[in-house]
Amino acid sequence: MLDAAQPATPVSAPSGAARSEQIAFAIMLALLVLAPMAVYPFFMMTALCFALFACAFNLLVGYVGLLAFGHAMFLGIGGYVSAHMAKVGNIEIGPLHVNFGPLSPELAILCGVGAAGLLGLVTGALAIRRQGIYFSMITLALSQMIYFFCLQAPFTHGEDGIQAVPQGKMFGFIDLSNQNTLYYVVVAIFILSFLAIHRIVNSPFGDILKAIRENEPRAISLGYKVDQYKLTAFILSAMLAGLAGATKAIVAQNASLTDVHWSMSGEVILMTLVGGMGTIFGPAVGAIIIIAMQNYLAGFGQWVTVIQGVIFVACVLAFRRGIIGEIANRLKISL
């Protein structure tokens, strides 16, 4: 809790907590490096994209306490812009026509992240002034507006989406058409983003976000400009979600309405809750579990949704902190 007599200062994590996080990170890194030997690389790449999406969402809901029902709009717009710039590379806004030609993968991904960040700035400025269910409903309404925009905009190709997105060569020499190379590029993007999120939540900025989550009026009384902090966190979360969508578009070589549909916003909530909201590793674990279910239980058709619902209910009843949250609580460690 913040002291009213002085500004908040960063509190160093106890050595035991830091050690447990380091061990967990080392295990995660080792599993990701060795995963292609046991698991189909495309599945793992898709799972890592959604893991990053869940981690981005958790930054907002787990550490600021803002439950957004429309986070799929950032995943989707990041994917669409990245796919369009990698395949076509032109910008047409009214009388403005600029044609760069197809961009390299890293520039296309950066364009997707930038578009998601800009969208986050606009939607966040409209939404953060409300709290609770009102904030959630505003984000859902804005997400539906983006969905219909993507359905009608010429560059998205409507229900067909953007297909046959070229993977190209990153930085001019990393051939992403090689599946193993692409896999380790996706791993690198996920790990760097994961470390960035860890740094954010364990910084003085992160301490203030947690203070806002715990007691917003108290933070306001200490002189913090709460709306600015919440907007910054919202934009960061949007950019990371856009990075997940942009990377996924390069991996899957397409961008479609599925990623911007409201049901995707529901799925990321499910991933976060199953893994453990407010934990560093929880959302990634939850995302991999949900994507694995969708992949390996695809033969059950629509029953996959029912099975997901049963698992969600079981987690709420038996693992109220999520899988990683319960493990961390019982072992008295930080994850």
Q: Cβ of 4: how many Cβ atoms within 10 Å?
A: 9
pLDDT digits (tens, 9 = 90+) for 116-144: 999 999 999 999 888 888 999 999 999 99
Task: With beta carbons less than 8 A apart as the criterion, state whether 143 and 265 touch.
Answer: yes
Sign of CA dihedral 66, 72, 75, 76: negative
Q: Which two tokens stand for residue 156?
A: 């998205």
Per the model's pLDDT, the better-predicted residue between 97 and 297 turns out to be: 297
pTM surpassing 0.85? yes
Report the pLDDT averaged over residues 202-225: 91
pLDDT band of residue 89 (cuts 50, 70, 90) is confident
Confidence check: pLDDT of 13 > 50:
no
**Mean of the per-residue pLDDT values of the chain:** 87
Amino acid letter, residue 144: Q
Is 60 exceeded by the pLDDT of residue 106? yes
Nearest to 101 by CA among 116, 121, 79, 86: 86
- The predicted-structure confidence for 34-61, as pLDDT tens digits, reads as follows 998 888 999 999 999 999 999 999 999 9
List alpha helices for the chain, DSSP H: 15-34, 41-61, 72-87, 105-127, 132-152, 179-201, 204-214, 216-221, 226-252, 262-275, 282-296, 303-318, 323-331
Q: What is the pLDDT averaged over residues 245-264?
A: 93
Answer yes or no: are the C-beta atoms of 91 and 85 closer than 8 Å.
no
Structural domains of the chain in order of their starting residue, each with its CATH number: 15-33+40-331 (1.10.3470)
Rg (CA), the chain: 20
DSSP H or E stretch at residue 217? helix 216-221
Do 123 and 188 meet the contact criterion of CB atoms below 8 Å apart? no
pLDDT on residue 19: 83
Specify the higher pLDDT residue, 314 or 197.
Answer: 197
* pLDDT category of residue 16 using cuts at 50, 70 and 90: low
pLDDT at 235: 96
Flag whether pLDDT at 210 surpasses 70.
yes
**Ranges 120-129, 134-143, 256-265, 307-316: which has the least confidence:** 307-316
Give the per-residue pLDDT at 306. Answer: 83
Amino acid residing at 153: A
Average pLDDT of the residues in 175-190: 93
For 79, what's the count of Cα atoms within 13 Å in the CB-facing half-sphere? 31
Q: What distance, in Å, lies between the first and last C-alpha atoms of the chain?
A: 21
Percent of the chain exceeding pLDDT 90 equals 58
pLDDT band, very low/low/confident/very high, at 243 (cuts 50, 70, 90): very high
